Amino acid sequence: MRTLKVMMAYRGTAYHGFQIQNNGITVQEVTQRCVSKVLGAPSVIHGCSRTDAGVHARQFCFSVQTESRISTLGFVRGVNGELPQDISILSCEDAPEDFHARFSCVGKEYCYRMHCSESKDPFTTDLALHYRRPFRAALVQEAAQQLVGTHDFRSFCSSCAENTNTVRTIHSIDVEIDGQRAEILVKGDGFLYNMVRILVGTLLDINEGRIPADALGTILAARDRSAAGRTAPAHGLYLNRVFYDLPALLQ
């Protein structure tokens, strides 16, 4: 039995997230069907993350076990030949048999992308948040550093059960701006449901003066979703990188 480690990218606009659901088509459903066809047997793919409906991925990992002797290049070419245009296999490699895309992952980086302009960009309608207000990148960058480190992020989680472990470590938050394009990059060891979208929405509320710039410590301490800001729309969010090597995550 072989275990394949596969990197992919997808545009999440048409999908109800990655994980198979009963209420709509998902990335896993479509990809799994194509993988099974290429491997010549029913196959189950295991993703590194669930991702919400409408969220995109620049780099997403899944693992699959197979008895097929197909080459890794043959797998990439074969599955890409079956997939729709909004999903792409980037690479494939043989991994240790116990490798699992989710449980072997040591960290992820998310990117939230915005188009900062009074006028909308028709080429990024479903790929970036159209943000009309002035974006004060330096203010947001400085405020965001209050979230770096190990904290209880319950205030930044939607629908977290009381017994859920909500402690996570954020290794870095960086704000990058180039003309009308702005990106907020968040790297950490793991993320709660809607955590990055709530984090970004709260930073945008700080940008707009709705929340004081020094309030993030108080929001964390509240351990209450109502203490944080709004949830940013899904279409601006990307799973940007996944890490299976701790030094790469920490650099």
Tell me the pLDDT tens digit for each residue of 83-121: 999 999 999 999 999 999 999 999 999 999 999 999 999
- Selected catalytic residue, list 52, 94, 98, 224: 52
CA–CA gap between residue 245 and residue 88 (Å, rounded): 23
List of domains in the chain: 2-95 (3.30.70.580), 107-250 (3.30.70.660)
Distances (CA, A) of 173 to 68, 109, 147, 184, 196: 42, 9, 8, 7, 11
Q: The tokens 């780099």 sit on which residue? A: 59
Is the per-residue pLDDT at 163 higher than 90?
A: no
Record the tokens describing residue 79, joined without a space: 């599955």
pTM for the full model?
A: 0.94
Mean pLDDT of the chain: 95
Span of 34-48, 157-171, 186-200 with lowest mean pLDDT: 157-171
Active site residue 52: yes
Secondary structure E strands in 132-208: 149-152, 167-178, 181-188
Return the pLDDT at 139.
Answer: 97
Q: At residue 250, does pLDDT exceed 90?
A: no
Q: What is the pLDDT of residue 213?
A: 95
Question: If you average pLDDT over residues 8-24, what whole number do you get?
Answer: 94
